[in-house]
């Protein structure tokens, strides 16, 4: 059974560009959350989606947006990239997202902004 | 808002010794805590969790202790092995409007020497 899959694994972008990161949850999981992990720090919550609806948003600017599709996969979009957006972007899936147990993380997308 | 912190950024132990990783949290209303292990190039991997109605929980070679009085939890790893080398994070759940979000500490780098 496949775990949480994220694509691409690595990405290099130039300042001002736009990026789309993708996540496929574990089969049967309906909730997807996105986290940003800057080097040397713990992951920080960006978004949570459940049944295609945004359930929560962290303290990130409007340049960050996301959506969840009918098959429960998700995209994270970041516009007008800044150097400070360089980080590991993690996706986590869970059955419902209503409880905090049962979250499984993917291996992340390493984004480098130059 | 919630915040989770760690006492030590690095910990070095010899193979076979026991390891203790500490974590402090600030939100006395937090009722669920998780320890994650993150190896280089991978996403966080669930190790063990504990709810606030418990003081101690044991897994395979790992034990989590929760002291609500001083808002402190620890992860004990018995007979530490080289494969335990990784960054360890404690995380606490969000409550109310932030339910479904995990708040991570900065992490402790555990290095196991042969």
- Three-class SS state of A56: strand
The answer to whether B100 contacts A100, with C-beta atoms less than 8 Å apart, is yes
| Higher-confidence position of B103 and A66 | A66
> Do the Cβ atoms of B64 and B91 come closer than 8 Å?
no
Chain B interface disruption, residue of A9, A33, A40, A43, most B CBs within 10 A: A43
pLDDT of A91 over the 70 cut? yes
CB-based contact, A38 to chain B, within 8 Å? no
pLDDT of A14 over the 50 cut? yes
The answer to whether A42 contacts B105, with C-beta atoms less than 8 Å apart, is yes
pLDDT of B75 over the 50 cut? yes
Nearest chain A Cα to B42, which residue? A107
Q: How far is CA B8 from CA A9, A70, B102, in A?
A: 30, 43, 21
Chain B residues within an 8 Å CB radius of A108: 42-43
Task: Say if residue B64 is preceded by a cis peptide, omega within 30 of 0.
Answer: no
Query: What's the confidence (pLDDT) of residue A79?
Result: 98
Mean pLDDT of A36-59: 93
Q: CB atoms < 10 A from the CB of A18, how many?
A: 11
Chain B residues within an 8 Å CB radius of A31: 100
Distance from CA of B72 to the nearest CA of A (A): 18
| Higher-confidence position of B88 and B100 | B88
Alpha-carbon torsion (B94, B36, B22, B75), positive or negative: positive
Report the C-alpha gap between A71 and B14 in whole angstroms: 47
Report the C-alpha gap between A96 and A50 in whole angstroms: 7
Phi, psi of B97 (to 5 degrees): -65, -15
Give residue B31's region: left, alpha or beta (phi > 0; psi -120 to 50): alpha
């Amino acid at each position: 059974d496949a775990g949480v899959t994220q694509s691409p694994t690595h990405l290099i972008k130039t300042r001002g560009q736009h990026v789309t990161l993708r996540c496929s949850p574990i089969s049967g999981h309906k909730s997807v959350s996105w986290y940003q992990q800057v080097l040397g720090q713990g992951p920080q919550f960006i978004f949570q989606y459940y049944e295609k609806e945004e359930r929560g948003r962290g303290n990130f600017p409007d340049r960050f947006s996301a959506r969840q599709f009918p098959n429960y996969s998700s995209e994270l979009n970041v516009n007008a990239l800044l150097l400070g957006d360089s980080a590991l972007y993690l996706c986590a899936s869970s059955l419902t997202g209503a409880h905090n147990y049962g979250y499984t993380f993917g291996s992340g997308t390493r984004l480098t902004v130059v | 808002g919630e915040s989770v912190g760690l006492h030590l950024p690095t910990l070095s132990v010899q193979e076979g010794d026991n390891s203790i990783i500490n974590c402090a949290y600030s939100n006395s209303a937090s009722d669920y805590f998780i320890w994650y292990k993150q190896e280089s190039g991978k996403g966080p991997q669930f190790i063990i969790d504990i709810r606030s109605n418990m003081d101690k929980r044991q897994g395979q070679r790992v034990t989590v202790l929760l002291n609500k009085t001083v808002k402190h939890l620890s992860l004990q790893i018995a007979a530490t092995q080289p494969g335990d080398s990784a960054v360890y994070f404690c995380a606490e759940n969000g409550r109310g409007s932030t339910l479904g979000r995990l708040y991570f500490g900065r992490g402790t780098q555990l290095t196991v020497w042969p």
